[in-house]
Amino acid sequence: MEGKKTREEVEKSGMIDTWMRKHRLIYTGATKHPFILSIRDGTVDLEAFKTWLGQDYIFVRAFAPFVASVLIKAWKESDDSSDMEVILSGMASLNDEIAWFKSETAKWGVQLSEVVPQKANQDYCRFLESLMSPDVEYTVAITAFWAIEAVYQASFALCLEDGSKTPAELRETCQRWGNDGFGQYCNSLQKIANRRLGKTPDDVLTKAEVTLLRVLEHEVEFWNMSHGAA
């Protein structure tokens, strides 16, 4: 009886919040990474930023088909038709995001044709591809989708806080993911994930938690890759 009560309490507060408290250390590592803190403090090595820019362009191109796969899973498995609208809004923004990366890399003198994906990037992209399998449940995929977006939102929002010393030439980048509108979008994804997690079998719940942790680990490695280029 006690176990059931605990599960009900978790469902009321949201499984995502419960996991964020449980895994606070790795979540903080992903959202307050030294690379992000160096942007916020105005000490970032611009070569490291340029490395991140080129590598993230490659990642976004792999991220787009992953989001498309989440949309297909929502169409097949979701119990709420509005899920598709939220995911579609994310897909629609990716075209603009890819165009932004092309423009931004040109501005910084990064030749995209010469950018080679580094190991951390390759590993992350392979992980995304594994989540595209039809065998991966919608609940697991939407949890991963939320986590990927939420890490960027929390990270770059930190660079826009009062008192931050983010260089003027990087504020547009931070604004792109740290703005309130993107935050609301992440909240919408979190609500979908919480709804699904609240009614999923324990085995799928475990898979979703493991997947969330793997996303956070990949995010840390991606920041490490950029920070290590300094």
Instruction: Report pLDDT digits (tens) over 148-164.
Output: 999 999 999 999 999 99
**Residue 43, helix vs strand vs coil:** coil
User: How far, in Å, are 15, 141, 147, 207 from residue 77 at the CA level?
Assistant: 20, 11, 20, 17
Rounded-to-integer distance, Cα 191 and Cα 86, Å: 11
pTM above 0.75, yes or no: yes
Q: Give the model's confidence band at 228: pLDDT under 50 very low, under 70 low, under 90 confident, else very high.
A: confident
The mean pLDDT of 130-135, rounded to a whole number, is 98
Rounded-to-integer distance, Cα 225 and Cα 179, Å: 25
Whether the predicted pLDDT of 229 surpasses 80? no
Whether the predicted pLDDT of 141 surpasses 60? yes
Most distant CA pair in the chain: distance in Å?
62
Whether the predicted pLDDT of 8 surpasses 70? no
* pLDDT at 5 (0 to 100): 40
Q: Give the model's confidence band at 13: pLDDT under 50 very low, under 70 low, under 90 confident, else very high.
A: low
Domain architecture of the chain: domains with CATH: 20-227 (1.20.910.10)
Whether the predicted pLDDT of 4 surpasses 60? no
Rounded-to-integer distance, Cα 198 and Cα 38, Å: 37
pLDDT over 90 for what percent of the chain? 93
Beta-sheet strands, E only, within the chain: none
Active site residues: 219
The mean pLDDT of 184-211, rounded to a whole number, is 98
